[in-house]
Structure 1
């Protein structure tokens, strides 16, 4: 009987060990990801600084900045959907500041209406960001209707004639209603390691149960 049980036992123990190790690895990855997110959140909330002369995604991603300037008359609308609130448009405007022109994501507004025009200087406080929203399924922008489907910074900048630099506003020195700021945060950064860990540990428990059942069946047939 023992001879017939040895290989199922070895196979079962090996499978459980592998699955448990994968679960432990995902728990370790979860701790790492939470530390990364905490670091990013601290960086987002840090005191703002002046706009760098040559910002780039690798060095200045999420950098809090503050700049005073004038919004251009033109703007682009990026279609978005908020859970529980439905569709709306992110408003992307050109912003002249310090002799240069950049992009400012002013926030979200309803699909009806238009953003207000600001004739005088406005101080924008927000974070530099280069969203990665374009993939093979992203439709081309509807230029005629001024509807974009992703914040493609280089394309938006080319359309509005600005530097490929985007500030996500969290506060303006003037009222921008009906536009509501949508500050940058970490909600779009995936963190599924806990779900993966639960899956591996569940599979380990299932594998163990199947192994014990198989050993029980072998024992019954040999008694």
Structure 2
């Protein structure tokens, strides 16, 4: 843009551009700072979860706090109820199939146990290994309602999420724990159900987002400097 073109630009437009650039710089810096705080939070969360997931198994809590107990490694001794296992639709690293959900009576009440994964060809319980009465695994919060694309249909015995309350209502179990246990794999490596498939992984892109916002702030700071420099040159040339 030539100096003559700058001189013809209305003063109010130059002021508006200056204010807009300054405001965007502030917004982008604040967004970058927010992402840095989220980064610190995510790193603390990952460290806490890894400590829980790979620690010594403890007794399941009577009162469940998702913030404190999700992925906590626990050990439970009890006996499975006489109810038939419920198959919940699943997609795992082994392919599509089902989670085998069974209610277990423990000392503190009934807990739903995800015994593991079975492919479509292994849906028959007669093909499964015996269910152990002592299990270890990771605590997971209930998954209410269903998924984004599908909903549980208890009337048709069609399940797409591990909704402990809905499962308990369907089997008329009464009040059960608001969590389930992803059981570790037991028995032979090739036995079904295949436990121990819990993925303990968190997506952490906060640093990339923060750098993006800071880069945007830098670009607008350069633009702001350019506007001020051009205005200064025009002022000196008059």
Question: What interval of TM-score do these two structures reach, taking the shorter chain for normalisation?
Answer: 0.7 to 0.9
- Which of 142, 160, 177 pairs up with 1:149? 160
Residue matched to 2:34 = 25
Moved more, 177-186 or 132-141: 132-141
Structure 1 distance, partners of 2:181, 2:95, is 24
Per-residue deviation, 1:80? 2.2
Answer yes or no: is the 8 Å Cα contact 2:128–2:192 preserved in 1.
Answer: no
Per-residue deviation, 1:141? 2.5
Closer, same or farther: CA 145–212 of 1 in aligned 2, 3 Å: same
- Which of 11, 36, 44 pairs up with 2:45? 36
Residue matched to 2:216 = 203
Per-residue deviation, 1:60? 4.1
Structure 2 distance, partners of 1:65, 1:48, is 4
Residue matched to 1:77 = 87
Residue matched to 1:178 = 192
For normalisation by structure 1, the TM-score amounts to 0.74
- Mind listing any 5+ residue stretches in structure 2 that lack a counterpart? none
Give matches, 1:72-221, under 5 Å: 72=81, 74-82=84-92, 85-98=94-107, 100-114=109-123, 115=125, 116-117=127-128, 121-132=132-143, 134=145, 137=148, 139-143=150-154, 146-160=157-171, 161=173, 163-164=176-177, 165-172=179-186, 174-175=187-188, 177-187=191-201, 191-211=204-224, 214=227
Q: Which has the higher helix share?
A: 2
Per-residue deviation, 1:158? 2.4
Answer yes or no: is the 8 Å Cα contact 2:52–2:72 preserved in 1.
Answer: yes
Q: Deviations over 1:21-48 (max 9, x none)?
A: 3212311220122112211221122211
Answer yes or no: is the 8 Å Cα contact 1:141–1:148 preserved in 2.
Answer: yes
Find the structure with the greater CA-based Rg. Answer: 2
Structure 2 distance, partners of 1:207, 1:180, is 54
Per-residue deviation, 1:127? 2.1
Give the 3-state SS of the residue equivalent to 1:180 in structure 2: coil
Q: Deviations over 1:64-94 (max 9, x none)?
A: 22123344461112212236x5422111112
For normalisation by structure 2, the TM-score amounts to 0.70
Closer, same or farther: CA 132–17 of 1 in aligned 2, 3 Å: same
